[in-house]
Amino acid sequence: MYTNISRKVYHSLLDLKMGFPIVVRLKNNEFVIICSSETITEKSLLMIKNFSNSSLSIVLNKHRMEYLFEKPYNNNLYAISFSNKLSASLCKKLSFSKINKDSNLMDKAIISLEKRVEILNIIDLMRKDHSIPSVVIGNLNIEVVDRNNDFKLKKITVIDHSELKLNAAEKDKLKLISRTDLPILSCKKTEIVSFRSLNTKKEFFALIFKNGDNQEIPLVRIHSQCITGDLLDSLKCDCGSQLKSAINMMSLNGGIILYMPEEGRNIGFFNKIRAYDFQFHGLDTVDANLALGFDSDQRDYFAASEILKQLGTQKINLLSNNPDKLSRLQENGIVIKKCTQLKVGVSNEAKNYLRTKKIRSGHNL
């Protein structure tokens, strides 16, 4: 079940995703008002300006800053303010759009470090929630804070720094929802098991072939959802081929496939499509994720480990080419008795994708 704190954070993230501002009480008892740079509108921007006693800034993380300025940055967050008018369209361009490096978007921009841990926590929560990790921020006038009814009248969520800190450290707690037979074309003796997170909106499922969960060391594939590859047979990646190959292997000898809602290495489906556009203009899959402000790979495999434990399977033969997946599972209590390479055919269109996997992500290809 959602705790009161996780419910409050969930509603705050939903407000941000819908373009509404929220108010955050900082540890020093000051207040800031923020809105998502991705979904901000001129109306919500005006609301922030009316409540704020300072000039507004847009906060970006180091990945996005390195894309914009083409040089390394050492700190996590930076605040950019402008002497001229900040508009909603400028916020969107700075936070997730492809940028013409010859543009004058940064004219008269003032860049400073954003060190407040509360802002870091909420941007990290946005990143995990597949929202562009960037906010527009203003300091609240204390007189406005005293008139708290203004927030209630405008239905602005107020959240405390302690709620953000606790939720940022929270891991997915999973509950097994249902289990039933699911005969499929290649294997009639298949079961499907569904799981739901108790503190996020995520849903997961496992396919169990020929009682694979009863095998001493079952073959296990942890597959990240890829709508374009799994359903549409996209030639840009090998995901669909890997899924089909894993199903065929387990249809013969049994095993378990975990199907994880982790599009684009867990940046979300819409952001993956944005990343595709960056790739079309010359970036590889790693740099495309970074250009949007996300990590190159945001999967942590905690939920996958929890599913395996609930299935009673903690010693496995991992079907994967990804050494990071192996080490992350081991960190979460799964014993990898063997790691089996998964080889599939690759289209010409996916060769750069595979090259990046091998060279930059260390996959065994």
Rounded to whole angstroms, what are the CA distances from 88 to 45, 109, 148, 297, 340? 7, 16, 26, 29, 49
Bridge partners (DSSP) listed for residue 135: 36, 59
Report the distance separating Cα 76 and Cα 35, nearest Å. 19
Q: Give catalytic status of residue 299 as yes or no.
A: yes
DSSP state of 187: B
- Among residues 299, 300, 328, 355, which one is catalytic? 299
Enumerate residues 6+ apart whose C-beta is below 8 A from 282. Answer: none
Enumerate residues 6+ apart whose C-beta is below 8 A from 65. Answer: 73, 78
Q: Which parts of the chain fold into alpha helices (H)?
A: 4-17, 42-51, 62-69, 88-96, 117-128, 142-146, 149-153, 161-168, 239-253, 263-266, 269-280, 285-291, 302-310, 323-331, 351-361
Report the distance separating Cα 230 and Cα 247, nearest Å. 12
Report the distance separating Cα 203 and Cα 339, nearest Å. 27
Report the distance separating Cα 18 and Cα 236, nearest Å. 31
Residue written as token pair 């055919």 = 345
Rounded to whole angstroms, what are the CA distances from 55 to 22, 36, 145, 208, 210? 17, 17, 17, 56, 63
Q: What would you measure as the largest C-alpha separation in the chain, in angstroms?
A: 70
Question: 172 near 197, Cβ under 8 Å?
Answer: yes
- Among residues 15, 284, 297, 328, which one is catalytic? 297
Q: Give catalytic status of residue 7 as yes or no.
A: no
Question: 325 near 349, Cβ under 8 Å?
Answer: no
Q: Hey, which residues are catalytic here?
A: 297, 299
